Amino acid sequence: MSTQPTLVVLGASGDLAARLLFPALYALEQRERLADLKIIGYARQEWTTDQFHENLRASIDMGDSEVDQKYLDMFIDRMEFHGGDLSVESLRQLTGVLEGDAVFYLALPPGVFADAAETIARAGLADETNGSRRLVIEKPFGTDLTTALALNEQLHKYWREDQIFRIDHFLGKETVQNILVFRFANRFIEPVLKSAHVDEIQITVGETLGVEGRSRYYDGIGALRDMIQNHLIQMMTFVTMEPPARRDPEMLRDHKVEVLKSVALVDPAVDAVRGQYSAGLVEGTPCIAYRAEPGVDPTSHTETFAALRLHVDTWRWEGIPVYLRSGKRLAAKAHEVAYRFREPPTSLFKHTPFEKAEPNWLVFRMSPSECTELVVRTKQPGLELEARESVLRAEYATSDEREASAYESLLLDILEGDHTPFLRFDEVEWSWRIVDPLISAWQHGAPEDYVAGSDGPAGQHRFLDPGHAWRPLVNPTS
């Protein structure tokens, strides 16, 4: 009996598949990590497999000068196309095609996730007699707690939780995974990552881009649901979770859920700020206002910037704020996670430049540069025994090291059945529980205006606790 595994990409003619999935699968081919995997593109189009292959060659070749013809041929060889819609009848044609383990990747609009998952199962394709069956979906997982719970209920009618792989592609990023490695593979840092020594955590995901053709989806959703509820809150779990004792996906996710469940109820009146960009200059280029973007309601109150203060009420993080912010059309692209340390007893260096120097920061930067930084005090060169700011720094990778894209990494984990970087439903649920009060509150009122190309609304600075300040979007040392 053959047990060749199969990956079925539903929505194979779509943007996600062409732009991210197939290039990532090709990259895995080039790394020789696909073994005997068969890949089936499935879409409504009446393409022949030859036509599909031509499209694939075009999308893989596009913009990548390092495509190796040998690997591209091997890649094309393992791809076949099946035309059909998301009906039980259509999908049944795949029954005889799937010989062993099979993964169904729903590269489809979120609105059809539930129906597609159900139809696949009703077509008999979720039956595990001849091999495992897995389902891959990408965020958004609902638009609030209620819709997320409903979606999940529908999925669980036909699929067990351990068959479902929910993608938050930030968790596939190497520099995000590096947070866990740095925290748990080093002896010196974990003992001081607690509120006895740390007095603040900041997570910033700032973009210079605007809505970029996603306005129909984005308007009415906004930064809170598009970024904070998933990517930023996930990063927050990485920086605040307790160290798991073993490398066990369920233990890891248990620890993440523990953090999510420990977040104190957010008060929309004081713990959050929202903004929407007006026309301005981003890195020298004139940009129109959000409300003037094609596809956006000209009276829209959708926030393109959101900032949030959370308290993680664990023994480890008692009492200190965790600040999250994300926005579009900001002055610079900046993705980073930073712990700020408390001051040491200052009596040794009072009345020296030390007092003006930054406190210690541990920074994981993902963009624009990829590096780990420790902001420290060292001796000021010269005659006096004084301290100044200095940065201990390591680039994440050298220029000749090949990093994996988030999709490469995630696709391989799916094929290997490793749940580590995927969201269990309770993570999704408790993330919605954190932001739900804000979603309700923000049905009313309007976001604060900010000029495109600025660092966001002024309110983000006012709402911080006294003595705290956002790190600059443009980092002076990188």
Helix (H, G, I), strand (E, B) or coil at 28: helix
**DSSP 8-state secondary structure symbol assigned to residue 79:** E
Query: What CA–CA distance (Å, rounded) separates 93 from 224?
Result: 41
What is the crossing angle of helices 22-30 and 406-416, to 10°? 80
Q: Which is nearer to its own copies, 34 or 98 (CB)?
A: 34
Listed residue (148, 129, 19) closest to 9, CA to CA: 19
Minimum distance of its own copies from residue 227's CB (angstroms): 23
Residues making contact with its own copies (CB under 8 A): 31, 33, 174-175, 177-178, 180-182, 184-192, 197, 243-247, 341-345, 347-350, 354, 359-360, 362, 372-374, 376-379, 381-383, 385-387, 390-394, 396-397, 401-404, 408-409, 412, 420
Q: Which is nearer to its own copies, 33 or 156 (CB)?
A: 33
Minimum distance of its own copies from residue 360's CB (angstroms): 5
Listed residue (224, 205, 204, 200) closest to 310, CA to CA: 200
Region of 284 please: left (phi>0), alpha (psi -120 to 50) or beta.
left
Dihedral in degrees, nearest 10, Cα atoms 165, 168, 170, 176: -50
Q: Which is nearer to its own copies, 12 or 375 (CB)?
A: 375
CB of 82 closer than 8 Å to CB of 42? yes
Minimum distance of its own copies from residue 195's CB (angstroms): 12
Q: Which is nearer to its own copies, 189 or 439 (CB)?
A: 189
Task: Measure Cα distances from 428 to 199, 215, 265, 433 in Å.
Answer: 27, 24, 16, 9
Q: Which is nearer to its own copies, 183 or 333 (CB)?
A: 183
Minimum distance of its own copies from residue 102's CB (angstroms): 22
Find all residues with CB under 8 Å of 320, minimum gap 6, and list them.
195, 198, 199, 200, 201, 311
Dihedral in degrees, nearest 10, Cα atoms 325, 176, 142, 218: 50
Query: What CA–CA distance (Å, rounded) separates 44 from 85?
Result: 5
Q: At 279, which amino acid appears? A: A
Helix (H, G, I), strand (E, B) or coil at 161: helix
CB atoms within 10 A of CB 213: 12
Find all residues with CB under 8 Å of 475, minimum gap 6, and list them.
334, 336, 365
Minimum distance of its own copies from residue 32's CB (angstroms): 11
Minimum distance of its own copies from residue 242's CB (angstroms): 12
Beta strand 280-282 with 38-43 is: unpaired
Q: Which is nearer to its own copies, 33 or 261 (CB)?
A: 33
Minimum distance of its own copies from residue 467's CB (angstroms): 15
Place of tokens 């995901």: 205
Minimum distance of its own copies from residue 34's CB (angstroms): 12
Tell how far CA 98 is from the center of its chain.
31
Query: What CA–CA distance (Å, rounded) separates 180 from 197?
Result: 19
Which of 53, 82, 169, 231 is catalytic? The answer is 231
Is position 468 annotated as part of the catalytic site?
A: no
Q: Which is nearer to its own copies, 70 or 247 (CB)?
A: 247
Listed residue (374, 378, 403, 406) closest to 391, CA to CA: 374
Q: Which is nearer to its own copies, 342 or 468 (CB)?
A: 342
CB atoms within 10 A of CB 36: 11
Q: Which is nearer to its own copies, 284 or 381 (CB)?
A: 381
**How much of the chain is in helix, strand and coil states, percent to nearest 5?**
35, 20, 40
Listed residue (275, 215, 290) closest to 442, CA to CA: 275
Minimum distance of its own copies from residue 407's CB (angstroms): 11
- Active-site residue set: 231
